[in-house]
Every structure is written in C-alpha cells, then in structure tokens.
Amino acid sequence: MDSQTTLKLPVIDFTKPDLKPGTVEWDLLKGQVEQALQEYSCFDALFHKIPLEIRDAIFGAMEELFDLPLQIKTRNVSELPYHGYLGQHPLVPLFESIGIEHANIVEKVEAQTSTFWPEGNTRFSKTIQSFSKQLSELDEMIRTMILEIFHLEKYIDEHMDSTGYLLRVMKYKGPKTTETQVGLKAHRDKNVVTILYQNEVHGLGVQRNDGEWIDVKPSKDSFIVTIGESLHAWLNGRLKSTYHRVMISGDKTRYSLGLFSFPKGGYIIKVPEELVDEAHPLLYKPFDYAEFLKFCCTEDGQKAHSSLKVYCGV
C-alpha cells in the first residue's frame, strides 16, 4: 500500500448540541481546528444538525437538476466567474457544475429554482435552502474559531456581515475506465472557507502541508472543511489555503456539493494591522474578491503559479 492510501484527515466532532464560544467544549474543538489547519489545511467535520433525510434528499435534488436539458442548465448565470453553470469543457469533460447564490436565503433560492422550473419546484428549493442554512451554521462556527485563534475577535461581526454563501453542486460522470482520470485539476479555492459533502463515490484528494496527498473518504456524517485564498490573504498567510483535486475512475457518477463562503462585492479584503509586524511583513495589498476572481479567469491569472500573489502580492 502506498502512503497516499493510508493517510487520513483529522476528524473533528461538531455533533455536540449548543456549542458556544467560551465553553470548555468550544475551546477543545478550537484547539483541534488550529492543529488540523496548521498540518493539513483541511479537516473532516462530523456534523449531525442537517437531518439525514435532507442529506439523502440533496443528491436526488441534484440528479433532478443535472438531468435537465443543457439549454435550461445554462440559464444559470452570474456576474461572477465560477458562480454560474460550468461544463462541457474539453480539459475536464467529465465535470459539470451549477451555482446557487445565497442558497441559505429562501427567496433567493426560489428565484433561482424558477429559472430551471418556471412552474416552480418546492421540494427542490426547500431541500437546497434547508441544507445550506444548516451547513452555514457550521461554517460560521469554524470561522469564529479561526478568528479567535488569531485574537481577531473584534473583527468577527464585520467578517460575518461581509460574506455571502454560494452553494455549488457538482457532477462527475464516471469515465468507465479503471485508470483514474482528472475530474477537477488541483487548485486552491479563491473564497474564504469551503465545506464539501459528497455521495458514496469518492474522488477528492487533499495535499497536506508537507506535500503528501491524502485520499479523502468521508462518511454520510462528515463534511470536509477547506481554506480558500481570501482567508489565507486576510490572515496575512497565517493559514495556508487547501490544495486539492478530484480524481475519478469506474462508471459511477459522483455528486458533490460545496458551500462556499465568499466576500460580498465591493468589500475590500485588508489584512488586520494586528497581523503585521517585523516577523510577519505584509504579504498582500487590499483587494476586492470579485475583481480577483475576474483576474483568475484571464490568461495571466490562468498561467500564474499563484494568481493571488500575481494579483495583489506585495
């Protein structure tokens, strides 16, 4: 067995009800989050708050969505790159994805649902919204812990108020080969924090901070937490962003979804002065996430080893 198949992500248990800042349980988990992020930039969070029937129903809802004709799926557009329909790309032919912006808010989900089903689809919008709303509570807990770890409590309200949620649903067609193929090439997400959930077809790989790749094998209860470039930049490099990819084989379809917290348009990401000193010189100039995302789609952004450094590195 090679080392890749034996390594596992740290598992952190968020199933205790009423986890609150200032409690012993909270501080215990916060310590585990800090250690996991320093070593792996990623962890597997156990979370029960989303009822099992919603966790199951979400994959049915995704299948229903991806089964729609292409001309309907391509109605999924956004002002932001990567937030709308993606698919039919010659470099990643097995991959397709649809973005639901502000998926935690009922009216926003209903409006987007009606672009796919003009007659409405209440079951679909309820499943998507309820899943996203409850998962956003895990995202908020984790981001609050991260800010506490770096003694940035005074920024918590501003940080939460300045971010929105995108739920991106992904479909990877099985390549029908035993040889593993690239589902999604290795990358760092550009947003703040991403929480991934998937069906029983595994394929996600995460690079640990020492360079080792880990095959992620999550369960129905587990949500994979990764760090994006915007959080890495805002923390002046204190946390690395997660380098990850999807590799697939066989004939089964892989469905996954990611709840992406991202800075709202017009909000300027600026490193807090508390994180800059002689030992930690400023790494990134202030930037707007939407502009950064647009840069990432340009030829210069695509060919850069680190689009973040090229875009706003000091």
Chain positions contacting ligand AKG, by CB under 6 A: 168, 170, 184, 189, 196, 198, 204, 244, 246, 256, 258
Which of the listed partners (Fe ion, ligand AKG, none) does 139 bind, with a CB threshold of 5 to 8 Å by partner kind? none
Q: Which is nearer to ligand AKG, 196 or 239 (CB)?
A: 196
CB distance 243 to 176 below 8 Å: no
In this chain, which residue has its C-beta nearest to Fe ion?
Answer: 189
Measured from the CB of residue 183, what is the shortest distance to ligand AKG in angstroms? Answer: 7
Closest CB 161 distance from Fe ion, rounded Å: 25
Number of residues that bind Fe ion (CB under 5 A): 1
Question: CB of 228: closest distance to Fe ion in angstroms?
Answer: 8
Give the residue nearest to ligand AKG (CB): 256
Task: Tell whether residue 229 is a contact of Fe ion (CB under 5 A).
Answer: no
Shortest Cβ 293–Fe ion spacing (Å): 13
C-beta of 124 vs 223, nearer to ligand AKG:
223
55 interface partner picked from ligand AKG, Fe ion, none, CB below 5 to 8 A per type? none
CB of 139 to ligand AKG, least distance (A): 15
Q: Which parts of 133-192 interact with Fe ion (CB under 5 A)?
A: 189
- Judged by CB, which is closer to ligand AKG: 152, or 231? 231
Question: Residues in the site for Fe ion, rule: CB under 5 A?
Answer: 189
